[in-house]
Structure 1
Amino acid sequence: MSAPTTRPPEPTAPAAGAAAAHTAPKTGTNTAKRVAPQQLTGAQAVVRSLEELGVDTIFGIPGGAVLPVYDPLYDSQKLRHVLVRHEQGAGHAASGYAHATGKVGVMMATSGPGATNLVTPLADAQMDSIPVVAITGQVGRALIGTDAFQEADISGITMPITKHNFLVRNGDDIARVIAEAFHIASTGRPGAVLVDIPKDILQAQCTFAWPPQIDLPGYKPNTKPHSRQIREAARLIAAARKPVLYVGGGVIRGDATEELLDLAELTGIPVVTTLMARGAFPDSHPQNLGMPGMHGTVAAVAALQKSDLLIALGARFDDRVTGKLDSFAPDAKVIHVDIDPAEIGKNRNADVPIVGDVKLAITELTESLRKLGGTPKSNQDSWWEYLSGVRATYPLSYDPQHDGSLSPEYVIQQLGRIAGPDAIYVAA
């Protein structure tokens, strides 16, 4: 999943390389109609940019440096502000909003301690590939670097935990920078982006026009998987006797759950889903072995350890899954599909690396397998016999409580039955 390297805070592109010009990204129901240049305050330009991007909800707390934004925000007919009790709550709420809606989550905080309280949710969103944008107020430009009241170098602080961040230095750049922030957060491997805006820029007049021209040299996520790698992956799958589909959160981020189901049912390959991929494949499906790793099922762990081919889809070979890398799935070849080239080969060498959008990759892999006649399911008879035996010997089960109390497993099971299959569950 392609995440550009962060640089010192500037309202410029995140990396060097070939230029890629874009118009403002669309989110929500944004129609991207053209707005002629007009004079607004920087704060008004922030609100107008968010409105044009189709944002409908912002989570935040007002404070001195960001306070100018709250006047036009209060007057907005399109934006709803959710007042939280702590900036960290705003960040996690924005992340949850992005999880549930598929849109970019937006959080807002003031300078200094307000901004630093966003560090944990920004790091969390970045690690979990959740698209969020943080807008923070900053002390006036003349005070930056003087250790002014509630000044913090939030761009520098968050550089290691965001996909990119910006320090706005000119009010005329507000629309472009915010549009670029949304584009970076929501494309390639989704992630966290921060936009830091000095208070004097928010209060001063600037020129606002929409849509802005986005120019991000070097930021061009590769979404198209290489056809030769797809063919090689299909060849390995067709020849495998003990394959496993190792599914990560990238399948959910990439909206590839239907394609995964099609691939799994075509091939008959067992499926294990990481914690971030829960829900990507039906729990009730007979091919679902559950979650792998130290908190997973015995069948899922056994499948990975005994496999001769791992088809990793949007997964990063996390230590909670692998344990000691040198003893993880020792006899397995690896097909690794991910939109972030940095993830491929990072923890486990890939025999067939495929960089690209996971939805496109699964679709093309399925088509290639159909041309080969799919994976003969008879190849896996002994494999499924072994896995079924493990699953029967070590099932997920719980015994009745001796004192008559309700076990946690029973409570969750009953809640699931009552809530139905469309309910959204959150792990705290």
Structure 2
Amino acid sequence: MRRELTIKQDDFWRLINREQFLLHYFDARLRYRLPALDNECVYIQVNCNEKTTGEHAEQYILSFLEPKYTKSLSFPGNNKQAYCDEYLLNRLMKEYLVHIELEDKDNAHRLTFRSSSLTVLFLAIDDFRKTMSNTLASDKSADIDAQLALQSLTTNLESQLMVVDQQDQLDEQEKASSTRKTHQGKNSTPGDDDDEKASAAALRARQEPQLKILYPGAEISTRDVALDELIVKSKKKNTQNRHNSNRQETPDVNDNELVREMRQKLKGRNLRDVIIDGANIGRTYGNSEFSAHGIQLAVDLFHSYGYPDSKIVVILPAHYLSKDKDNVFPNLIRRKIVHKAFEQKIDDKNKRFYDDRLIVDIAVMRNGVILSNDFYRDLLQDSGDAVRKAIRERLLCYRFIGDNLCLPNPVSEGGPPLDVFLTI
């Protein structure tokens, strides 16, 4: 399934920070492109193997970026571990397609639930309440404040759910009444028409839009916002020369205020080495067809940040060197930026490559960052603490928008700014 949503550019980096969640729980991969005329929005393409899963991923994105309803739940700071259980919060976000944020300050500890549907929002909170009740009941160390806070939440939630149910019933009654008045329209006077219009306007103001996507675990009658207004028809792709499609040829794509600002922040500081996953960069830029130009763009960006050649390392399997249509590699190899990965010959036709292992090992030895969209899950399972720490703490994701290589700032949700991440 491939569909496109439209988001504001201000929301672009916020969404990138949720990419790993979308990939892990919805198997959704996101691609981005800029419109030809409008510079205030970005098109997102949600790629999923199953249509239903893709629709759920889209609905979660809307709850994250454009929630219609929010509800904050305060909790005692000494019970943070119980209330902020990562497994529980991720389960609720996946099942109810709500987004949950943690606000953890000195005097404020709260979870904020965000959704496009009021009913579904309360369903998620009710699930959270029941789970927390069982957790606190079995935890003898739970203090009285936590139990009182949960009891207060239960009372408020039940009263608010009653209001939602009453509103649903009122909406249905007014809808039925409006239908009856429509059939009697022939005998109505001009004054009656005005009353009907006013009643219909009030009804639309109270009603939520009809549900298009059924939520896992939600009632059949649950309603939610329609996606049609945000769907943008995707353009037909050219299957030939895919690595050159929709690429903007500019003299210097890094000649902009963001790059100059980052260069100024990094000036005079101790830079971390950047280890670039060459195969991942090349395939991402070429839309799964390897393009050496993507590697050149990555090297150029870090040069624009003030990096010397000695702090840029590109690891690449040897067979990609023959796919250099842009004649990029001879210069980069001469400058000792591009390096071939280990390989093992299995038989006359097959070889095994060890580029992932070499990339992470170099990052450990040089205390550097890894530029890749690969999660290296296989290495996480069978490696030592140093390798796992490098993958979890120093992995830098990226996106190509045309010929612009975009890096997140901050590097993750709640993470450090990019300039801090790139320095020791």
Instruction: Note whether the superposition's TM-score is higher than 0.5.
Output: no
Report the TM-score range of the alignment, normalised by the length of the smaller protein.
Answer: under 0.3
TM-score normalised to structure 1 length: 0.27
Determine which structure has the larger helix proportion and give its number. Answer: 2
* Larger RCO, structures 1/2 (Cα 8 Å, 6+ apart): 1
Structure whose alpha-carbon radius of gyration is higher: 2
TM-score normalised to structure 2 length: 0.27
